Structure 1
């Protein structure tokens, strides 16, 4: 099996988990992934796609003029690496199936050229139309019968990279067809306890639950002593925005500290790629700042979690029975923040541009009201085997 993914940590981690599960079941697996994802790939056969998504992430939220320049100077070269190098990996590995992230626009062509099934992995529900909700990353309010129209956005974005797909076709020694074969299956590594499956999805679309792997030796290493002592030292809130870095990190840091202190909570901050900075005048014994944390070790002990609303963190928090306060930045993050609010799993999301200590303190005060609902979802998620369900689908196709 060839598993090809593109994006940041949240896009790579599930593919690595699935690769570990498939390899443990006797399959030969290659993961093709971007560099510097921050994911532990110990024991997994990984091929670099020769791209680094950090530059794309750092350019988020720019002006329209800068966005056009970034398309030419940043986005297109990265997408070319993904699209073309996926074809090179397939030519060398000669897989029986290709399992691909939506950004791997050459995956359908590669599958057709090799005569193998292509399995699409929808990291968020943005590719398979439904009348029940709009595509994640488009609008947050339902449009009723017009919801299916929002799913055209993904295919329109893909059309921007036809030249790169042509180059991938040349690697495969074929011409780009006018229409590639549809996916043999579509997998969403999302818990149905969080996102109920739409009734109008075809049977080939499978909501598997999150893909998690058994801890490796590296994962099982002794945690950072300072973090370990902090999480065992009393009630605390966790805050981390992953790879999000737009806006004013110091202002966010001050707001988070003030809100936590107003509620009598200590604060554990994961700075990630710079989305939060805690100025010296806001620090104290009740605040611990680190670059990253192991969600599985930290979130079960947190009173609540403030984060950007990426689906990986949403699922990690709910699996830990921890209420999320979502501060969305871009893309699908507003979708998940709104979904949690509608389902009674968390307070209303606070867009990062509107983040204040007062709004955070109100959300912190409301969070306990959602604890029982979060615990109920956690119980359902504990029964899921997302990677196993995905592997069953793949084994039926190969």
Structure 2
């Protein structure tokens, strides 16, 4: 099987695809991963192609404000999306795959697959496109609106219309008619653990909740060394809480850093801070031997040792923390993060989320004090996740579809 993986976005959007690429290659398949620049994901040993789109630069310049993104749509957002949409077509023409698996931001993927006469599979990293009555689409509202839940899933479809011009350009690259109706995905893969998100009863059979996609060699070995001896020494010195907001950058990162340090000290806990793209800054006068600050860490090595993890609630970090048996304290910023914070709390896996605008030392200290009450439930979820092999489940679906002709009757606008 020749498998083309198309992804876009920040680190959390790329890591699952990289894990699947490694698993498929290890199974003897020819795999190419087309991805954005500067994702922060190690692609050593993967046949990777740049889509020449830098989402990290976009976040660094615009932050995570939807309003700022709309203001910069023409000059900043649209060029990045154009690179993804058009260069995905070029990548497909070069590779000539048997099947394509694609991130929802790669809006040209269905027409690319149709032009090549191959099946395509949507990778829904968070539940935003496969409608259900059981909960609203992630990134819309955090509480159920009952019979109206299904309507919230129309938002994702509407977003694609903003980039119709770029999709038409991709069609030209493929030699396909403009504005034609593309086929529906042959399947939808959701790399999410049922321990975190139970499968809705009204999802179609084509929607597969696989479990998280992790590389077979991924480690959660608490004894594994890091590239930084100073960090190793900090990890070995006793209990600590972890704090990191990944690619999130908004508000006052120094005030957030002070609140985190004060909360940890109030609980008598040391603090490991990963500053990421600027979501946290720890001023010099707040530092001490009980605080270690670095840009990023290997979650697989760090989280199993942490007594709690304060993070933004992206699904990648949610699953990494839960699989490590570490209680999450979610500080959501945007998009699907409030959804996951609410979901963890509703399932008894975490304290109530703290919106980023309401972060204070007192609220964080209360959450750290409450975290041990969720430990047993999180450890049970971790045990369930240990038995999952999401990448293998996804690969099985792709193997069954490879080479199967598309059913032209399955069409959507």
The question of 1:264 aligning with 2:250 is answered no
Partner in structure 2 of residue 202 of structure 1: 204
The question of 1:374 aligning with 2:378 is answered yes
Shift in Å, 1:55:
3.0
Cα separation, 2, equivalents of 1:221 and 1:241: 23
Partner in structure 2 of residue 96 of structure 1: 98
Partner in structure 2 of residue 146 of structure 1: 148
Deviation larger for 24-33 or 224-233: 224-233
Q: Is the CA contact 2:272–2:291 (under 8 Å) kept in the aligned structure 1?
A: yes
Residue number among 297, 303, 325 corresponding to 1:299 in the alignment? 303
The question of 1:309 aligning with 2:305 is answered no
Partner in structure 2 of residue 69 of structure 1: 71
Residue number among 47, 51, 54 corresponding to 2:53 in the alignment? 51
| Contiguous gaps of at least 5 residues in structure 1 | none
Cα separation, 2, equivalents of 1:355 and 1:232: 29
TM superposition score normalised by structure 1? 0.97
Partner in structure 2 of residue 124 of structure 1: 126
Shift in Å, 1:177:
4.3
Question: For the structure 1 residues 231 and 221, does the alpha-carbon distance in structure 2 shift closer, same or farther, using more than 3 Å as the test?
Answer: closer
The question of 1:321 aligning with 2:325 is answered yes
Shift in Å, 1:355:
0.3
Partner in structure 2 of residue 386 of structure 1: 390
Q: Is the CA contact 1:191–1:210 (under 8 Å) kept in the aligned structure 2?
A: yes
Shift in Å, 1:56:
2.7
Which has the higher relative contact order, 1 or 2, with Cα contacts under 8 A spaced 6 or more apart?
Answer: 2
Shift in Å, 1:236:
0.6
Q: What secondary structure, in the 3-state scheme, does the structure 2 residue paired with 1:29 have?
A: strand
Cα separation, 2, equivalents of 1:290 and 1:342: 32
Partner in structure 2 of residue 60 of structure 1: 63
Task: Output aligned runs, 1:141-220, within 5 Å.
Answer: 141-215=143-217
Q: Is the CA contact 1:211–1:387 (under 8 Å) kept in the aligned structure 2?
A: yes
What stretches of structure 1 move > 4 A for 4+ residues in a row? 219-222
Partner in structure 1 of residue 411 of structure 2: none
What are the Cα deviations for residues 78-123 of structure 1, in whole angstroms up to 9, with x where unaligned?
0100000000011111100011000000000011111100000001
Q: Is the CA contact 1:42–1:216 (under 8 Å) kept in the aligned structure 2?
A: no
Q: What secondary structure, in the 3-state scheme, does the structure 1 residue paired with 2:72 have?
A: helix
Q: Is the CA contact 1:107–1:118 (under 8 Å) kept in the aligned structure 2?
A: yes
Cα separation, 2, equivalents of 1:162 and 1:256: 43
Q: Is the CA contact 1:21–1:388 (under 8 Å) kept in the aligned structure 2?
A: yes
Q: What secondary structure, in the 3-state scheme, does the structure 2 residue paired with 1:51 have?
A: coil
Q: Is the CA contact 2:64–2:249 (under 8 Å) kept in the aligned structure 1?
A: no
Cα separation, 2, equivalents of 1:68 and 1:105: 18
Q: Is the CA contact 1:109–1:176 (under 8 Å) kept in the aligned structure 2?
A: no
TM superposition score normalised by structure 2? 0.94
Task: Output aligned runs, 1:231-380, within 5 Å.
Answer: 231-380=235-384
What are the Cα deviations for residues 243-278 of structure 1, in whole angstroms up to 9, with x where unaligned?
111110100110000000111100000011111111
Question: For the structure 1 residues 85 and 134, does the alpha-carbon distance in structure 2 shift closer, same or farther, using more than 3 Å as the test?
Answer: same
Q: Is the CA contact 2:226–2:232 (under 8 Å) kept in the aligned structure 1?
A: no
Cα RMSD of the aligned pairs, angstroms, is 1.5
